[in-house]
Structure 1
Amino acid sequence: MGKLERHATIADVAALAGVSVGTASKALNGRGSLREETRKRVRDAARQLSFEANAGARSLHSGRTYTVGMITTDTIGRFSIPVLMGAEDALGAGEMSVFLCDGRGDPIREQYYVKTLLSRRVDGIIVTGRRTEARPPIGVGLPVPVVYAFIASADPADCSVVPDEAGGARKAIDHLLAIGRTRIAHVTGPEHHNSAQVRAAAAVERLAEEGLSLAMPPLFGGWSEMWGRQAVGLLLAGQAEFDAVFCGSDQIARGVCDALRAAGRRVPEDVALVGFDNWDVMTEGAQPPLTSIDMNLEGLGRSAAEKLLAAINGAPSPGRHAMPCHLVVRESTTVPFPPLAPAG
């Protein structure tokens, strides 16, 4: 049996024509201001390599259809699905295809998917996951552009689009200060987790700018309701005076909310409560509904896809791009006004 024929890529066309991949893409798309001599050289190279014969080439030629691979390590989809939805919005409903691959945190499985996606001649790859700390690049010298979304690449030359978690934590503290809370506790996830570290450090820093400190050192634990309930026990046992709790996740905040109510502390009258992630299952299911920090995952996915498309068209955006988070206010920080006295 003979060897499988290797399909020509845009990189092969660029190499034969003696131009960059971006220039080759523009020439085949009919975009950009290129000399006619350059366009002809690229078209001749594409014809010589039979590049026009494959679907990837046709999509580049039309400038309308993109096929993109997406590799995730987020097995439950909590973070990757909103990112994917945002990416699809940017790439254009009905005008593209996305191959979603679940790497499950296994480097061997991940590399298999990289090879598979490249064999399908995708125009680019988006890498995402459930943790925001930097990870090793999925490859070096790949023939297509790669953008990291939510998760960051450890290579500063790669394009990474990440949430500004520190900025989000500062907004949570700003909100609590604005409603008059100054004895703020912080309950968050595992101490070794990047998000827990970043959010805790930003909260401490923001309070210090106002000459304040946390009611007690940050309480690190798990990303769970159970840990939130346990943490309230620690806060009460430590006899720390606190009038607000900023939680590193909505799951923690919901557990904190339940335990405060069981201990006879009213939310928000006695203790104001802010979560992080704006996960509707948690924020709307809590009693009362939770004020939370939204990382705008769909917007982050849209931005990542836009940067990938720009890179496919020869305009990469290397470096780390932090996307702002925003505060969503609900009843857990809104003290109701007392009823008006009857007129008489």
Structure 2
Amino acid sequence: MQLTLSKYVLQLRHTFSISRESHDFQDTLIVGLGLKGETGYGEATSNPYYKITVESMIAEIESVREEIENYNFTLPEVFHAFLVDKKLSNFAICALDLAAHDLYGKILDKPLYELWHTDIANYPFTNYTIGMDTVEKMVSKMRETPWPIYKIKLGSPNDVAIIKELRNHTDSIFRVDANCAWTADQTILYAPQLKALGVEFIEQPLAAGDWEGMEKVVHQSVLPIIADESCIVEDDVQKCGLHFNGINIKLTKCGGLTPALRMIHKAKELGLKVMVGCMTESTVGISAIAQLLPQLDYVDMDGAMLLKEDIAQGVKIGKYGVVVFPENGGSGITLV
């Protein structure tokens, strides 16, 4: 296979803030895998919380470049096992795994959702994320992008008051994401107030390691609780079954589509709701997420919508969340 590695710096439409960080730009790695006249593309963004940079991913992949280029590619799942054996980070593996799936589907000239025997006739609409900001700017962002479902980033001393004010400006569904900023008692206290304000669920209110607190919350909260930072890899799903009502899978964190498919299956066995989220990826990463849509209860795939300029074409999200799938195979990605 021919391997290409490219760094891009994605500029955001607005400063994006959560409880622990803010940024105006997002570094991302685009991987290309070429074989039989086709090229598959994958993506993984940098992330300071997990101490991952584009440069560190490139260094990892370059260390096994020769082995990748000489690899006898057959199935993405087998290639993923090969990458795990090379002890690459999950972020680097994700970019390669997404590229391998896109390549595989392009060679067969079939989209991934079709290869997985799923039907795109019905799928959950993505939420649109409103980062932490002044209430005035948060309202302005909602007016700029009218949407049926908003995910609201929280983690301030006035979180319930923020939702009350935002509710005055829209009838859309709210989801809230505290990114580990609350305590168990705060979550239990806030939940009834948030439910009355039209909030659908709370995502990762407590620190990732606070399993005792999460067990208390999941039994006392009147709103469903979705794991994010507490559910990184496949082994986390089983434990989340006792502490959450659902999980949010991030492809970059778990290592790509291959483990994500197994996580979805395991979560459903445990009766958990399943969500897949993004990490401000371009259309390269978003198009891969979209292939999973028929298998999901919720999805957060607005990353490319938050960018000033995209770097690829593929799956398109139209007005009010309608998804337009490309006709070409794999994840349907072409670089601009």
TM over 0.5: no
Q: Normalising to structure 2: TM-score of the pair?
A: 0.27
Q: Normalising to structure 1: TM-score of the pair?
A: 0.26
Bigger proportion of residues as strand: 2
Larger Rg: 1
